[in-house]
Amino acid sequence: FGRQIVYQEEVNSTQIIASELVMNDAPEGTIVVAERQLKGRGRLQRNWVTSDGKAIAMSLILRPSISPRVAPQLTLLTAVAIASAIEKVTGIHPNIKWPNDLLINKKKVCGILTEMQGDADCIKSVVIGIGINVNQVESDYPLELSDIATSLRIEKGQPFLRAKLIQVILAEFEKYYEIFLEKGFKPIKILWESYAISLGKQIKATTLTEEVIGQAIGITDEGQLLIEDPAGIVHTIYSADISFNK
């Protein structure tokens, strides 16, 4: 991974560049890194702001032979790889909020966006977008973000080399990806749980069609979130926005 790196100073979104490369047969493991994004994409059609020269904005191209059903597991796997890399480089133990936000002290430090192409039986490609707040200081955040976002520098009180972090993330990713392709999601699930912050908590999951409030009791072997509502009914959540019910 990362043997082929496409580096660009300014892009609309590394996700767009990566999907163009996919159409031009870029091999698995190709990564796109940008210094600045004009139209960074977040999950659920949100925008993603990339601070100039202070954040990591990258997209990773995968070509796994898997069914689209298990593709969300790749997002959880990526969260584990990044959490482990952050821990190795900074000494901070980050938390993962299902499915894939990385938090430190309950504030977001990294977001992951997985986009795939293919048909109902088999995936052709997956582009995993990774945005990490690395060297921002408090004054880089507008007031409305300062309560919910943080950076590695703010948390640790020192700047970090983004290139080093990318290198460790790719090594961690490669390690877990190989385990996943060989043994499936189970071994990754155990690691994911060791970073999970949502489990055991009262949460609210907002999906496209409903709102589920209850206790997060675990994730399935396939990576979906299980929530038990006050009536004791267990809901399986495939995709949602999660907030903590205080």
CA distances 75 to 22, 116, 187, 222, 223, Å, are: 18, 11, 15, 12, 9
DSSP string, 147-163: TTB--HHHHHSS---HH
Rounded Cα–Cα distance for residues 28 and 62 (Å): 5
Q: Which two tokens stand for residue 144?
A: 């409305």
Interface region with ligand BTN, contact rule CB under 6 A, candidates 7-15, 75-83, 89-97, 197-205: 7-15
Tell me if 43 is assigned to a ligand binding site.
yes
Q: Which two tokens stand for residue 13?
A: 């979104």
Options 57, 82, 83, 126; binder of ligand BTN; rule CB under 6 A: 57
Rounded to 5°, angle at Cα 94 from 93 and 95: 125
Options 41, 153, 162, 189; binder of ligand BTN; rule CB under 6 A: 41
Residue 228 or 241: the one with the smaller Cβ distance to ligand BTN is 241
Please, which residues have CB within 8 angstroms of residue 59's CB and are 6 or more apart in sequence? 14, 15, 17, 18, 31, 32, 127, 128, 129, 130
Print the binding letters for residues 60-99 with ligand BTN: x by CB under 6 A, - otherwise: ----------------------------------------
Options 42, 68, 159, 184; binder of ligand BTN; rule CB under 6 A: 42
Size of the site for ligand BTN (CB under 6 A): 20
Options 77, 112, 205, 219; binder of ligand BTN; rule CB under 6 A: 112
Residue 129 makes contact with ligand BTN by CB under 6 A: yes
Site for ligand BTN, rule CB under 6 A: 13-15, 37, 40-43, 46, 48, 57-59, 101, 111-113, 129-131
